[in-house]
Amino acid sequence: MMPPEKVGMTSEQRYYEIPSHWEDRKFPESEIERFERTSRLIPGDVKTIADIGCGNGLFLKYLHEQSQRDFRLVGADRSLTALQHVAGDKVRASIDSLPFADNEFDLVTSLEVLEHLPIDVYNRSLRELSRISRKYLIISVPYSQDLSRSLVECPECHSQFNPNYHVRSFNEVQMANLLNDFSCDCIDVNTIGMSVSYLNYPIEIFGYRKPQKLQYLNTYCPVCGYYSETSVNPGVNLGMIDDQKNLIFKNILKKIWPKIKRSKWLIGIYRKVNK
Ligand SMILES: C[S@@+](CC[C@H](N)C(=O)[O-])C[C@H]1O[C@@H](n2cnc3c(N)ncnc32)[C@H](O)[C@@H]1O
Ligand SMILES: [Zn+2]
């Protein structure tokens, strides 16, 4: 039985209410780089910042503690559990209906949120982010994610989905044009971080790119609601046999297979054009 406070929530909303997702308020190495690069983009005339989809407020905390500048900071998120960790001003709200005035903040940031939004919410959200910004927006997303290769399979109903609920993927061109219809010009699009992945790797042999991350774990199926707190190996359902011989073969192939370096994130900075 689902706890009563979670009835009516989507699987993704329930996922973000899982306390363990938010408990660690330390800065992991990879996040520091993301936050550092993001904060370096903040123009000199910015005094007020709203971070939309702020999660547990790590970026706001970074700005408060590490930046030499004095900002008025506000966080907004849909997850109550995440917001409990945000120390400063915060509001529970959905990104597509923000309780802020037009042009209220010099800068609006939204980091690693847009890739989660279904189409109806998505367009309204871009309008909202632009509406509450007076001067600038900074948006980051995963770099050109191949969504077809990052699926887990629900052991109950066998539907496949991205375990982090990513439903869209962005490249440089899409980021450059992201806010064209919402009174904003793109100033620049940058890449952040670096990861190594296999070039056109055969999924049947290697399984998933990061099996340890993509196990069906702490995830709610968006179709039937199945939830598992312990890991469920998606490979088994997809017909991959993981016996010892196969494992040795896989490991040799992995060593010799051509690899490519890819950026982890794309980050766009935009200027509001008040027409
Ligand atoms: C991957 S986390 C990113 C958290 C943080 N911005 C960061 O960069 O570490 C995505 C966040 O978006 C929030 N989110 C997803 N859909 C949302 C919506 N419709 N309205 C507000 N927040 C939303 C989630 O609750 C979660 O905190
Ligand atoms: Zn299911």
Q: Is residue 27 part of a domain?
A: yes
For residue 111, what pLDDT is reported?
A: 98
- What's the whole-model pTM score? 0.87
* Distance of alpha carbon 118 from alpha carbon 266, whole angstroms: 20
Q: Is residue 152 part of a domain?
A: no
Round the average pLDDT of the chain to a whole number and report it: 85
Ligand 1 binding pocket includes 57 (Cβ within 6 Å): no
Q: Is residue 200 part of a domain?
A: no
Q: Which bin fits 106, alpha (ψ -120 to 50), beta or left (φ > 0)?
A: alpha
Q: Is residue 212 part of a domain?
A: no
The environment of the single-atom ion ligand 2, i.e. residues with CB closer than 5 A, is 154, 156-157, 221, 223-224, 226
* Distance of alpha carbon 118 from alpha carbon 57, whole angstroms: 23
Q: Is residue 206 part of a domain?
A: no
Ligand 1 binding pocket includes 54 (Cβ within 6 Å): yes
At 231, which helix (H) or strand (E)? none
pLDDT in tens, 157-210: 888 888 889 999 999 999 999 999 999 999 999 999 988 877 776 665 665 443
Comparison of pLDDT for 99 and 202, the residue scoring more:
99
At 155, which helix (H) or strand (E)? none
Ligand 1 binding pocket includes 121 (Cβ within 6 Å): yes
How many CB atoms are located within 10 Å of the residue 33 CB? 16
Identify which ligand lies nearest to the alpha carbon of 232.
2
Comparison of pLDDT for 20 and 44, the residue scoring more:
44
For residue 83, what pLDDT is reported?
A: 97
Using the mean position of ligand 1's atoms as its centre, give its distance from the Cα of residue 205 in Å.
34
- Give the residue-averaged pLDDT of 127-151: 93
Using the mean position of ligand 2's atoms as its centre, give its distance from the Cα of residue 238 in Å.
15
Record the tokens describing residue 177, joined without a space: 């044009």
Polymer length in residues for the chain: 275
pLDDT in tens, 233-261: 544 333 344 556 667 777 787 788 888 88
Number of domains in the chain: 1
Does residue 213 carry a pLDDT above 50? no
Which backbone phi and psi does 38 adopt, to 5 degrees?
-65, -45
For residue 211, what pLDDT is reported?
A: 36
Ligand 1 binding pocket includes 75 (Cβ within 6 Å): no
- Give the residue-averaged pLDDT of 127-150: 93
Does residue 121 carry a pLDDT above 90? yes
Does residue 77 carry a pLDDT above 90? yes
Using the mean position of ligand 2's atoms as its centre, give its distance from the Cα of residue 250 in Å.
29
Ligand 1 binding pocket includes 184 (Cβ within 6 Å): no
For residue 236, what pLDDT is reported?
A: 37
Domain region containing 106: 4-147+160-195+262-272
Does residue 73 carry a pLDDT above 90? yes
Angle at the Cα of 57 (from 90 to 196), degrees rounded to 5?
A: 150
Q: How confident is the model at residue 58 (pLDDT cuts 50, 70, 90)?
A: very high
CATH of the domain at 122: 3.40.50.150
Q: Is residue 245 part of a domain?
A: no
Q: Is residue 186 part of a domain?
A: yes
